[in-house]
Amino acid sequence: MSSAAPQIPSPLHVARSPLAFDRGFFARHAGWPLLVFVLATVLLIPLRGDLRLADWLYAWEGHHWSLQQGFLTQNLIHVMGKRLSTLAWYCVALLLIASGSFPRLKAWRRPLFFLLLSTALSTAAVGTLKLWTDMDCPWDLARYGGSRPFIDLFTARPALLPRASCFPAGHASAGYAWVALYFFFLATRPRLRWLGLGIGLAVGLLFGFAQQLRGAHFLSHDLWTLAICWSIALLLYACLLVPGHASPARSRMALSGSALLPRGER
């Protein structure tokens, strides 16, 4: 009497790579973030959550932007923070250049290129959009000690008013651009993807909140910056890092990282 040998599941079924760009991936990384973005935008702009938060901060600072020129908000976070973000970008560029000379770095070439391109395009897109939207900073508004009336994002701006360039938040983009680390690690070391996301969100929140304390931006400005940075990173991930575009060496690297994850984290 013969007995069938027990079947051993394929490693590819046991350790499914989080790189798979399927319908579930799209829903988690595009659908749900879009829904949260739309709801938050409605709360902050049409329902005036922006103004309520800015009113509270303005009153808390003594009805003037007392932290506008503060050492922590201006010198340390605004000036030095942006320089550190730029330095980090140059470090990625150097690693990308080095990957062309060192065989051990070859498998990292495309992920490093993705990270470099995503962060650069995110900050460039936000900076360009600031020139088109023509919106004022809180410190320019009569409501907060300035001289201009509040003009909503979706309202035509009177031609007599000087041009403005405060939407979305440019400085926060130097932090939120690094949410691309989530996709960078998703393609290389999946266990670290949440750390990468946390770094981008934490730095962006720090930069954005410091600017709100200075009267430079409303919260919605930061929200739109985050949405732009995330969308660019997701699009570039789909173009550069999904399995269909991945080299065999990098695919094996991603699968080996995902094989170490618990089933709930894959």
Q: Which residues, in sequence order, are CB contacts of 262 under 8 Å at separation 6+?
A: none
pLDDT surpasses 50 at 177: yes
Strand partners, 199: none
Axis-axis angle for helices 109-133, 219-240 (nearest 10): 140
Report yes or no: 155 and 208 within 8 Å, Cβ to Cβ: no
pLDDT digit string (tens) for 239-254?
999 865 444 344 444 4
pTM of the full predicted structure? 0.84
Identify the residue whose tokens are 């829904």.
35
Cα torsion through 51, 52, 58, 60, rounded to 10: -170
Of residues 257 and 20, the one with the higher pLDDT is 20
